[in-house]
């Protein structure tokens, strides 16, 4: 059982997952951010791998990605930063990003680095699911890693069930069909979508992301899922000159 499965076995509700972009605000902030999130009792950490064309992300995450790249962040640097991360935290850690940098790095090398750093899984929104099944799933099953798939209000029921059957960890429920950071509350159709997914009785837990920005939207998302993911507003809150305290203050506002 990996850390993600263990988390959801031990805690069924109110999971708080935080996303941040590696290399932002400064190149070497990765470990400090993780350490402070651990001290703030966050449940799950998603580390964004900077990419020049993050199509699913809004302007804030795009900006943080561009700054991180300018700072010198890349996968080689990130894996060096994460080499001893398990001396600092036992929180589940997922890498999130896009296929192109992973392809350039090398699929096998990338997976080996995930294992070397004792990370728990990855999210690649633009990786075709059929490619995951043929290229990644066998090694992910063998090495007990989680591949987290996204579903949206437009994902068909058949596709959702297929994703559920081939997933190990949780399902990332995108709250709307827009980019990250666009909304801060849920409308009637979104709530109907959440209820529809819950009625499918999927085997995997679900976490809602996109549009979670404050305590109110976090609590509302937790009514319809096992937890929520916050990225854009967390990144906006980061104070380069007082990083740890800005993180602690933000998590206190959510919890």
| Residue 68 to residue 72: CA distance in whole angstroms | 6
Both tokens of 60, joined, read: 């804030």
What Å distances lie between residue 157 and 47, 172, 189, CA to CA?
A: 29, 15, 16
Decide: helix, strand or coil at residue 117: coil
- Annotation marks residue 46 as catalytic: yes
CB 174 within 8 A of CB 152: yes
Asked if 28 contacts 242 with a C-beta cutoff of 8 angstroms, the reply is no
228 sits in which H/E element: strand 227-230
- CA gap 198, 118 in Å, rounded: 32
Measured from the Cβ of residue 157, the count of other Cβ atoms closer than 10 Å reads 10
Among 29, 43, 57, 220, the one annotated catalytic: 57
Catalytic site residue from 10, 29, 38, 46:
46
Residue 208's SS3 state is strand
Based on the residue annotation, tell me whether 57 is a catalytic residue of this protein. Answer: yes
- CA pair distance 204, 225, nearest whole angstrom: 11
Q: Helix, strand or coil for residue 11? A: coil
Question: Which residue from 130, 155, 158 is spatially nearest to 147, judged by alpha carbons?
Answer: 130
Residues marked as catalytic? 46, 57
């Amino acid at each position: 059982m990996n850390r993600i499965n263990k988390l959801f076995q031990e805690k069924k509700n109110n999971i708080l997952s935080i996303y941040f972009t590696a290399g932002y605000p400064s190149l070497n902030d990765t470990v400090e951010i993780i350490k402070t999130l651990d001290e703030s009792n966050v449940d799950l950490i998603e580390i964004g791998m900077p990419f020049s064309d993050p199509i699913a992300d809004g302007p804030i995450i795009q900006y943080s990605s561009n700054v991180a790249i300018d700072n010198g962040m890349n996968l080689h640097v990130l894996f060096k930063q994460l080499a001893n991360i398990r001396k600092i935290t036992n929180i589940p850690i997922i890498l999130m990003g896009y296929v192109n940098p992973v392809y350039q790095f090398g699929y096998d090398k990338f997976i080996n680095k995930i294992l070397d750093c004792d990370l728990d899984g990855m999210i690649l929104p633009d990786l075709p699911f059929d490619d995951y099944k043929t290229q990644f799933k066998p090694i992910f099953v063998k090495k007990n890693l989680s591949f987290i798939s996204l579903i949206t209000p437009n994902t068909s029921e058949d596709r959702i069930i297929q994703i559920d059957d081939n997933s190990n960890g949780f399902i990332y429920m995108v709250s709307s069909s827009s980019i990250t950071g666009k909304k801060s509350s849920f409308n009637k159709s979104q709530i109907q979508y959440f209820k529809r997914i819950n009625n499918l009785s999927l085997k995997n837990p679900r976490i809602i992301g996109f549009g979670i920005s404050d305590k109110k939207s976090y609590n509302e998302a937790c009514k319809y899922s096992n937890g929520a993911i916050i990225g854009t507003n967390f990144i906006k809150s980061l104070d380069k000159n007082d990083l740890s305290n800005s993180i602690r203050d933000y998590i206190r506002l959510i919890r």
